[in-house]
Structure 1
Amino acid sequence: MRKIILNALIILIFIFVTGCTSNADTVDTPLYSGKSLSVGVVGETPEIREDHIHFTSISFEELEDYSKLSSNYDAVVIMKEHLQEADDNKYVKVYTHAGVPFFFIESTKSYMPFVLEDVSYEHSSLTNFNNDMYAIGYLQTGESSKNWGYGLYNDIVNDPNVNDAYSCMFTTIESIEDGTSKEK
């Protein structure tokens, strides 16, 4: 009988200790619950937890006709595998004149190589954010510009932390107060 009680006590202590231990790799964060957004994406569409964000795959050729971007999208996301191509000088005018925010996913070089001519992403040492940002955002309207950085909780790349970064990006897109974010 004593052995059964001791075993039950050990099991209860184990359940209590493991149940109260926090997972230092993630943090519980809220979903973006704002308006529906239309986001163009260069590269593979990211997996997110929100169901009212509509991604449309777009090519660099479509980006070149930047006058249509603000009427079709609330923002444009350029995925990591396309950052080298995205820094081509011919796209500088796109990023600085399209009137929509651009988000560069897993950029270790800030937004600068994308908006400055003759600055190469590969060889750039320019950084305006810590290299530990998961995503860098940039918006230029007229002479003014805004930029954002989104890190990951404890700098750990995992689904919950990446999802949180996207939720924060969506909140930023919605909150842009200069009139470039279109109601859908």
Structure 2
Amino acid sequence: MRKIILLFLLISTLAACSMDKNEVKDSPLYEGLDLTIGVVGKIPDVRERNIVFKSIDLNDIRKGNLSSKYDAIFIMKEQLIEAARAPYANIYKNSGIPFFFIESKKSHVPFVEAEIEYEAFPDTDSGEYASGYYEIGDSGKSFGYGLYNDTVNEVNILDVFSRIFMTIEQVNMKN
């Protein structure tokens, strides 16, 4: 009997240790429409199979006509400073598709306001891993995506991307 109790305690302890309280549980997988996303920088790893990433650069963004090719654009961390330069602000506002700035600690503001320098804009304390911006007509909408318990790990990052895909689908359905 004593061995059974010890075995039960050991199994319970191991199970409790393996449960990470800093990982989101039951993160829904995006199962909506197929999406094509242009990515400036390193293409992210995601769980979804219905997402097609196309590697692009900032010159491709400058050329315009993005809405006919992509459902959204991701600007990855290593390209944020360059992507916040003044000439791009009007593109983000007038492209007709959402832009997402991955791992920016400065929100979407330095990207859509031409007179604001990225380096000079203060970091926000929002805890957002990604921010997004979409403008149609005279109305702009921003999006923010935080990590579960503000913890950077693979599970939480995958969850953020799934939520971003859901937003992209919602934006596309309104158009």
Structure 1: stretches of 5+ with no match in the other structure:
180-184
> Corresponding residue for 1:69?
66
Q: Following the alignment from structure 1 to structure 2, what is the Cα–Cα distance between the partners of residues 126 and 80?
A: 14
Q: Following the alignment from structure 2 to structure 1, what is the Cα–Cα distance between the partners of residues 105 and 49?
A: 29
Q: Following the alignment from structure 1 to structure 2, what is the Cα–Cα distance between the partners of residues 109 and 51?
A: 30
1:78-97 aligned within 5 A: 78-97=75-94
Q: Match for 1:40: what amino acid?
A: G
1:58 paired with 2:56, answer yes
The 8 Å contact of residues 109 and 131 in structure 1, kept in 2 or not, is answered as no
Q: Following the alignment from structure 1 to structure 2, what is the Cα–Cα distance between the partners of residues 16 and 89?
A: 57
Structure 1 runs of 4+ aligned residues shifted over 3 Å read none
Q: Following the alignment from structure 2 to structure 1, what is the Cα–Cα distance between the partners of residues 115 and 67?
A: 26
The 8 Å contact of residues 92 and 115 in structure 1, kept in 2 or not, is answered as yes
* Partner SS state of residue 174, structure 1: helix
1:25 paired with 2:25, answer no
Aligned-pair distance for 1:70? Answer: 0.3
Q: What's the % identity of the aligned pairs?
A: 42
Q: Following the alignment from structure 1 to structure 2, what is the Cα–Cα distance between the partners of residues 32 and 120?
A: 34
Q: Match for 1:75: what amino acid?
A: A
TM-score, with structure 2 as normaliser: 0.93
Q: Give RMSD over aligned pairs.
A: 1.5
Q: Match for 1:114: what amino acid?
A: F
Aligned-pair distance for 1:9? Answer: 2.2
Larger radius of gyration: 1
Aligned-pair distance for 1:23? Answer: 1.8
Q: Match for 2:163: what amino acid?
A: C
Q: Following the alignment from structure 2 to structure 1, what is the Cα–Cα distance between the partners of residues 149 and 123?
A: 24
The 8 Å contact of residues 94 and 136 in structure 2, kept in 1 or not, is answered as yes
Q: Following the alignment from structure 1 to structure 2, what is the Cα–Cα distance between the partners of residues 20 and 159?
A: 20
Q: Match for 1:27: what amino acid?
A: V
**Residue-by-residue CA offset, 1:1-48 (whole Å, 9 max, x unaligned):** xxxx43342122121233256421112211011111000000000000
TM-score, with structure 1 as normaliser: 0.88
